[in-house]
Chains A and B, each alone.
Chain A
Amino acid sequence: MKISEIQQEVIEEFAGLGEWMERYNYLIDLGKNLPMIDQAYRNDEYLIRGCQSRVWLNAELREGLVHYTADSDAIITKGIAALMVRVFTDHSPDEILNADMSFIDEIGLKEHLSPTRSNGMVSMINQMRYYAMAYKSKLEAK
């Protein structure tokens, strides 16, 4: 599935949810189901700075596609991480870098993008893009 198709899927899932309580509960469930990052990556090297809750992110290149894993010590943040991993994982660096981010507005998570929230959503997305950029240049160098 393309990133844009997954985004559409996520938008539809959120549209079925009611007020904030249901959205949070949905994120909490996503967080609980997120496969934990390999313990080897749950350290400062993979920590995304500037978040009130800690977020760890790793990416590997698997047959030309970027495979992300993530974790957080806060459950709502972990749910957001799970959502971002679901949208972006196992796609080509180009597709990730060209992805439209407006789906975040549409699912009502825009408030999580403000710097005061400091929950790492912005840092998380930036870090995912950095990984994609790094793997893109690695692929092009070949």
Chain B
Amino acid sequence: MNDFPIDLIRKDFPILDQLIYGQPLAYLDNGATTQKPVRMIDAVNKIHREQNSSVHRSVNYMSEKMTEAYEQARQTVQKFIGAPESSQVIFTSGTTGSINLVAFSMGEAVLEPGDEVILSTMEHHSNIVPWQMACERYGASLKIIPITDEGDLDMDAYRNLFNKNTRMVSVTHVSNVLGTINPVKEIVRIAHSHGVPVLLDGAQAIQHEPVDVVDLDCDFYAFSGHKIYGPTGIGVLYGKQEWLDRMPPYQGGGDMIDRVTFEKTTYNISPFKFEAGTTNFIGAIGLAESINYLTGIGMDKIAGYENYLRDYATQKLSSISQLRMYGTSVNKAAIFSFVLNGIHPYDTGMIIDKYGVAVRTGTHCAMPLMQRFGIEGTLRASLCFYNTTDEVDRLYDALNKVIEMLA
């Protein structure tokens, strides 16, 4: 991968250049949150210093400019995910906010007692609990797609879950624990053959590969800004227009209304119908800046380099005989969940932290998945395009130190 300008790219992320406990930081916790390119940091800083004014509210020059930039950000996202119209791009607080919106409003629109919602065993709690809450409200129930030992969805079982009561499918595009890249196009095709809409949780996918919502044909696509090198507190929900028109609003407040009287309120059209209150417009503009940064490099190139890192790390980690990997699908992102035999993941994480290697330990907000494998938790190393093979080597060395200390 000599053609990938990794040294230049690392310079775009100032946070990476620091010592932790006297060791260079190896940040391998990108599944939890990603670091920020200086270009985005500067853009957000500049707005706060020079341009801040509320959007969609005032006639003043500042507000007009800000509104323009906000709607421009919406178009940047629209283009990035291939959405037909910018009105189909709703800014939310994050993936969790997006899924809660759909679970609430689609619940209102389609769920009745006895109905069923299909999820999978590998979902993040954010794609379980909102649906569980909706099911409780409407007397519906969850049906769960099982997974194989390798961490692939059991597609035959998925096909068999459909019946006349199935109203919704909500699955993750890429597993935040196993790294499995799910066959989402096929998942959507099967659901649509039963007339059932599909939400894809793109929190761990959007930053790793080109995503085209029209090609996927999904009804909803959700992702977070902070996991795609953007600010925290901003997220996106893409929806098909027919559903956005049919769904009632999720939250009430300013901007989402058409006309308010104490007797009756009529609502604005999407996306504004779903953006109650003053939105995180500066976050949206920051997100657009990060997206422009990524498209400047090229999502194909990013995916290519990350696949190279994935293969390198797979080979390196699998050479540790005491290491047990969870998630060995052939379709996999650079996310590695594992335990060292006989050593608690928490002990491992604490020790490698002292070597400057940042990973996550625990259940990764996916307790049902831990139960499926009969484990308490794992360590997760999640890589992205600013990571290096040298950092993978440091993880490898630190894990061997742990084995020396504790085995």
Contact = CB atoms under 8 A, between A and B. Distances in A.
A119 B21 CA distance: 20
Contact of A74 (B21, B347, B354, B405): B347
A53 interface: yes
B405 A25 contact: yes
B74 to A, nearest CB: 34
Given A24-B405, A25-B405, A75-B406, A53 B346 contact: yes
A76 B347 contact: yes
Contacts of B362: 52, 118
Contacts of A74: 344, 346-347
Contacts of B346: 52-53, 74, 76-77, 119
A22 to B, nearest CB: 11
A53 B354 contact: no
Given A52-B361, A73-B376, A75-B406, A24 B344 contact: no
9 contacts: A24-B351, A28-B405, A52-B361, A52-B377, A53-B346, A53-B347, A74-B344, A75-B406, A77-B346
Contacts of B405: 24-25, 28
Nearest to B343: A75
Interface residues of B, number: 14
A25 B361 CA distance: 20
Interface string A23-43: 011001000000000000000
A37 B319 CA distance: 36
A76 B343 CA distance: 10
A124 to B, nearest CB: 14
A53 B349 CA distance: 11
A86 interface: no
B129 interface: no
Nearest to B406: A75
B99 to A, nearest CB: 24
A74 B344 CA distance: 5
Given A20-B354, A24-B405, A73 B21 contact: no
A24 B347 CA distance: 10
B21 to A, nearest CB: 7
A132 B361 CA distance: 32
Given A24-B405, A76-B350, 12 more contacts: A20-B21, A24-B351, A24-B354, A25-B405, A28-B405, A52-B346, A73-B376, A75-B344, A77-B344, A77-B346, A118-B362, A119-B350
A52 B376 CA distance: 9
A74 B362 CA distance: 12
Interface in A40-91: 52-54, 73-77
